[in-house]
Amino acid sequence: MAESAASATPPAGRGGLENDKSNSISVSAMQFSYDSNQAPLFFDFNLDIAPGSRCLLTGANGSGKSTLLRILAGKHMVGGKDVVRVLNSSAFHDTQLVCSGDLAYLGGSWSKTVGSAGEVPLQGDFSAEHMIFGVEGVDPSRREKLIDLLDIDLRWRMHKVSDGQRRRVQICMGLLYPYKVLLLDEVTVDLDVVARMDLLEFFREETEQRGATLIYATHIFDGLEAWATDLAYIQDGELKRYAKLVEMDELRTSANLLTVVENWLRSETKQEKKKKKKEPIKPPTAQTQKASSGSPFMSSSRHMAYYR
């Protein structure tokens, strides 16, 4: 799988330091780190996606998919105005992108952080109708179509519905405006098969009829061979592959997309294991021992019972 991003990118692919104005999404020489004391998660990262693409974003857990989508959604300031461009505007600086609805991001579930309990689902007593109809300036026929497509009962109370039902309302609200670029982070994971397939079909129409561009990060590949147009594969923050699905040789020789990605992930894991075998295990230092002795997750800690 060692094909590099540079050799695997399609013609519409990365444009080096010059952003290509014809792309919906253009990332040039991006560098990003959560912690300035650590090596960057993304270093000299380039990605260009053409309008109308339905791009699957794949990679192992922790490879950087969600981070990349959040950066594209303008949630992290990265570099100058020319580094991360969406619809030829700066994803972070041009707030009009999100305000106008041209750039939409759907990720994570509706939640709030509560002290030591962490993320808990939104508990407010709102009806689905209150939430959906609370969004102003929406085309009523688009709203009706989405409510119907997602099979939403407007009487649902948000604090009493299932995860999948809550997710349907969240997705509906995220799609109310006719976006030009849509970033999806594993949002279909709670949906049943019918809802997921209907939604994917809706996205296909949106890209084909309106030229919208979609990036969809997922670990579920069911039925996506015929749906996606492009595939981006990330390993440890590096774009290892970017290809048009129709041009992928592996798809001709493998049973399906799942097998192809599984092979890439397995070879990645093997390389990682080999690397780890070579590295001697470091004995704990006085500092790390001191740090771990204060951890509530150490079995000797009396606080552990609180987390069980």
Ligand X SMILES: Nc1ncnc2c1ncn2[C@@H]1O[C@H](COP(=O)(O)OP(=O)(O)OP(=O)(O)O)[C@@H](O)[C@H]1O
Give the binding site for ligand X (CB under 6 A): 34, 41, 59, 61-67
The least distance separating ligand X from the CB of residue 116, rounded to whole angstroms, comes to: 18
Q: Which is nearer to ligand X, 13 or 64 (CB)?
A: 64
The least distance separating ligand X from the CB of residue 187, rounded to whole angstroms, comes to: 12
| Spatial distance between the Cα atoms of 99 and 177, rounded to a whole number of angstroms | 10
The least distance separating ligand X from the CB of residue 63, rounded to whole angstroms, comes to: 4
Q: Which is nearer to ligand X, 15 or 107 (CB)?
A: 107
Cβ proximity of 55 and 49 under 8 Å? yes
| Spatial distance between the Cα atoms of 46 and 183, rounded to a whole number of angstroms | 17
Q: Which is nearer to ligand X, 66 or 259 (CB)?
A: 66
Q: Which is nearer to ligand X, 54 or 65 (CB)?
A: 65
Find, among 166, 105, 169, 173, the residue nearest to 142 by Cα. Answer: 173
The CB density around residue 149, as the number of other CB atoms within 10 Å, is 17
The least distance separating ligand X from the CB of residue 67, rounded to whole angstroms, comes to: 3
Degrees to nearest 5, angle at CA 300 with 295 and 305: 80
Q: Which is nearer to ligand X, 67 or 170 (CB)?
A: 67
The least distance separating ligand X from the CB of residue 142, rounded to whole angstroms, comes to: 30
CB-side neighbour CA atoms (13 Å) of 98: 16
Q: Which is nearer to ligand X, 150 or 187 (CB)?
A: 187
Q: Which is nearer to ligand X, 58 or 229 (CB)?
A: 58
Which residues 6+ apart lie within 8 Å of 139 measured at CB? Answer: 178
For residue 164, what are the CA distances in angstroms to 149, 156, 168, 204, 284? 14, 12, 6, 22, 44
The least distance separating ligand X from the CB of residue 261, rounded to whole angstroms, comes to: 12
The least distance separating ligand X from the CB of residue 119, rounded to whole angstroms, comes to: 12
| Spatial distance between the Cα atoms of 189 and 171, rounded to a whole number of angstroms | 12
For residue 196, what are the CA distances in angstroms to 252, 274, 291? 26, 38, 45
The least distance separating ligand X from the CB of residue 247, rounded to whole angstroms, comes to: 24
Q: Which is nearer to ligand X, 64 or 74 (CB)?
A: 64
